[in-house]
Amino acid sequence: MSKIVCIYPQDDTTDFLRPLCDHICATFDAMEVGYDISGGDNQTEIIYNKIEDVKTIFFLGHGESTCLYASIINGTQLFNKDNVSLLENKQLFLLACNSDQFINTYKLSEAIGFGFLPTSIYDARHVRKLHSMRIEHLKENDIDSYNTAIVNALINTLSEETMEDSHLFAERLKFSTCEKIVNILLQKETPNYRIVADALYYFYKDVNIR
């Protein structure tokens, strides 16, 4: 069994992350584990069994300060205060909203987490602000531009080398994201390209590495 698992919940809110999941599986020889909302109730138990003996977990999905979701659509929580011990003593890469706070809440170590990620129109309309910046007027193509940029920045950053050196990871993520920011500012392809560029700035500034 692979010592590296990529947990990638299956619903249309995370479709844009497919290239990143494929990159992780190819680069790290990781085993993909999904959660299908049309499946049975034992899917979470299957995931728990798959990660029992692994060294590294990549999680690509949704979260908040106290939990990571198996599905945001039906509100199924995969990890919370009752079972966060399953993540202890593992290397963690958690690409989910407020996973930076999740890491701090449960004092997880050897972990990488992110801040609020406005990856959908719902996020922009519901939360409305990213730090002090208004985001509720973002359009679909603005969101698509943001999503594509973060996925490509992470694909350009994630390697065995950067996962072994957190400082190198941070430096390369900053460099790659700044490249995307410059391209967006120069090309001006979406209505709110300036807000998209600023949101990408917070993408790498809010990274929590412990």
Asked if residue 109 and residue 70 are part of one domain, the reply reads: yes
116-129 confidence digits (pLDDT tens) = 999 999 999 999 99
Asked if residue 39 and residue 132 are part of one domain, the reply reads: no
CA–CA distance, 159 with 125 (Å, rounded to integer):
34
30-57 confidence digits (pLDDT tens) = 999 988 766 666 888 989 999 999 999 9
CA dihedral 121, 190, 173, 117 (to 10 degrees): -10
62-108 confidence digits (pLDDT tens) = 999 999 999 888 888 999 999 999 999 999 999 999 999 999 999 99
Asked if residue 208 and residue 168 are part of one domain, the reply reads: yes
Total domains in the chain come to: 2
Q: Which structural domain, as residue segments, surrounds residue 39?
A: 1-115
Asked if residue 178 and residue 91 are part of one domain, the reply reads: no
* Nearest Cα residue to 13 out of 107, 133, 96: 96
The pLDDT, as a whole number, for residue 12 is 85
Asked if residue 79 and residue 156 are part of one domain, the reply reads: no
Query: Do the strands 111-113 and 208-209 form a parallel or antiparallel pair, or are they unpaired?
Result: antiparallel
Tell which of 72, 98, 115 closes a domain.
115
